[in-house]
Structure formats: C-alpha cells, structure tokens
Amino acid sequence: MSDSTVIDEPATAGLEPAPLDAEDDDGHAGPPTWLLPLLSAIVALGVVVAFFVAFALSFSGIQEHRNQAQLYGTLRGLLDPSSPTAPYLGGRIPVGAPVALLTAPAAGIHDVVVVEGTTSEQMRDGPGHLRNSPLPGQVGDAILIARSTTTGAPFGSIDHLRRGDPLTITTGQGHFRFTVEDVRRAGSHLPAIPPSGSIVTLITSSGSGFLGGVVNGHLLYVDAALRGTAAAAPEHAPHQITAAEVQGHGDPAALPWVLAWFVGLVAVAVGGYWLIARWGWRRAWLIVAPVGIAVLWGFSDELLQLVPNVF
C-alpha cells in the first residue's frame, strides 16, 4: 500500500465562466450580452426625464424665487428718490432689467417684479414686459407675459381674476391702479384703448397645476384699465421684436446649450461607469452624484428655454 495520498481537485477547477447568453444545464439561454447596456440606457433616460420634470415644476421655482428677491432689492433701490441711478421709464430698456412691481391680490400676486423682455430666458426671473409695448401706466396697451406652470408659475392663478378686481403696478413714473375689465381667450376681440388712456394685459396659458398649461394649450388674457391719468411714454422704443418674445413661443437660441449640456451628461455617464467599475459604488458615488446633479441642473435649465414662454 502506497504512502502517497491522492488529493482530488475541486469539481470546478479548470472551468471557465459561461457567457451571459450561453445555455444553462437545462438548455435555456441566459440573458444576451446587449441587455445590460440597454437597461442601463433606459434607466439613465428615465433619470434625466424625471429630473427635468422635477426641475420644471419645482426646482425652477426655487431659482425664480431667488432671482425675484435680488430683482426686488434692485428695483427698490432704483425707485428710491435718493438713488444716483434713475429707474427705467421706457425707450430702449436693457433686457432683463426690473421695470415694474405688480400686485394682484385676487390672483395671489404680491410685489412681483416684472423684467424687460419676454423670451423664455427672461421667464427664469418672473413676468416679462413685451418690449414693443408701453410700460404699465403709460398711454396704450402694456403687455405682461409669464408662465402658468413652470418657474414658480407667477401667473398660475390669473384665471381667478374677475371683472372689477384691482391691480396695482409701480414703475419709475409712480403708482398706477387698474381694474380688471375682461378675462378672455385667444381669438376674442381685442380690448379698446381710450385715446388718452392706458390698459395692461396679462398673458399666460389657460391651464395651471401639474402640466395643466401644456395640456390645455390655450392662451389666457386678462385686460385691466387704468383708473387715473396715463403717463407719457418716452420715444425710441423698439418697433420690432423676435419670434421668441411673442406669447406661446420658446427660445431656439437655447438649443446649442442644450446639446452642449447633453454631451456633458453623456460624459458624466461614461465617466461614472468607469469610476464605479474601478472604485466601487461607495467611493465613486461621492464624485458622480454631485457632478451628475450639477450637469442635470444645467441641462434642464436650458431645455426649459425651449418650452413656450407661457407654460
């Protein structure tokens, strides 16, 4: 009898792991190799869509609230009689400059700053004044446009206004009191402007709430007439505006930035996958999460500029 001892090798020795799409012992094929990348892409797309919806309906409102606070301080400083800088009274006003303070209690609007310009870019800050219309309180029809659903929905409740409700607007020319005359939809008759009078028209989409404006898709107009004497309008106001400034239009100028941020998203996804494979979830998450959120924020902010300026 030999003293040598024979040690059996493990049953798994020398065996190679089966590919994902190989058949198992029962003859059933495993998941194909392309399935995991496809599922990853679907999950990534779902995250982008979910973040954009959250940004449009919530995060953009936080951004708008911060911008409003800064604009309010700037406008109050301009309206101060001791200010070395005069407030804007008309003519060619810089786009984005604060021009008026709007209050409409029946619509839940209190001391909302109106900025010059009505593209989707200006809608980041709040209501905008159509550049080729007079300022509120001046002779003619002053047009104010704002969103009803996204970026804080500053005009989300103007459909609550009724004939006789008061509006107060403050500009560099003083305090002006208006009374609502009509609430109308697109296609209705335009309001009559008295020869020496002034009206203001608030414009948004007719829906509000969760994507209500986008679903309904109709424009809502609120006309209010000045109670008192209209102020003079300075000359040199622009006579032409771009299509992006008209109610119901998005801003195509944001498209290159949308594409640039999208490339950034792809880079973050590829880089995140590499870090996770190299470092593992716990360490890679500390880098991927904040960078990914920052890029998603920038992408969503620019993508929202393509959405019509009344939604």
**pLDDT 10s digit of each residue in the chain, 311 long?**
445 454 454 544 444 554 544 455 555 555 677 676 778 778 888 999 999 999 999 999 999 999 999 999 999 999 988 888 889 998 889 999 999 999 999 999 999 999 999 999 999 999 999 999 999 999 999 999 999 999 999 999 999 999 999 999 999 999 999 999 999 987 777 888 877 789 999 999 986 554 544 444 589 999 999 999 999 888 877 878 999 999 999 999 999 999 999 999 999 988 988 888 889 888 888 888 999 999 999 999 999 999 999 99
**Kind of pairing between the strands at 140-145 and 198-205:** parallel
Q: At what angle do helices 281-303 and 35-54 cross, to 10 degrees?
A: 50
Superfamily the domain 53-75+92-249 falls into: Sortase (2.40.260.10)
Whether 96 and 113 have beta carbons less than 8 Å apart is answered as no
For the stretch 251-292, pLDDT in tens is: 999 999 999 999 999 999 889 888 888 898 888 888 889 999
In degrees and rounded to multiples of 5, residue 123 shows phi and psi of: -65, -15
Give the model's pLDDT for residue 224: 96
Whether 121 and 254 have beta carbons less than 8 Å apart is answered as yes
Give the model's pLDDT for residue 181: 94
CA-based max dimension of the chain: 125
For the stretch 45-56, pLDDT in tens is: 899 999 999 999
Whether 212 and 249 have beta carbons less than 8 Å apart is answered as no
Cα torsion 171, 129, 298, 290 to 10°: value is: 30
Q: Where are the domains of the chain?
A: 53-75+92-249, 253-306
Overall size of the chain counted in residues: 311
Report DSSP state, residue 94.
P
Give the model's pLDDT for residue 102: 98
Give the model's pLDDT for residue 20: 46
Q: Would you give the end-to-end CA distance of the chain in angstroms?
A: 92
| Cα(281)–Cα(121) distance, integer angstroms | 37
Give the model's pLDDT for residue 90: 87
Helix (H, G, I), strand (E, B) or coil at 41: helix
Closest CA to 146 of 201, 190, 224: 201
Give the model's pLDDT for residue 11: 47
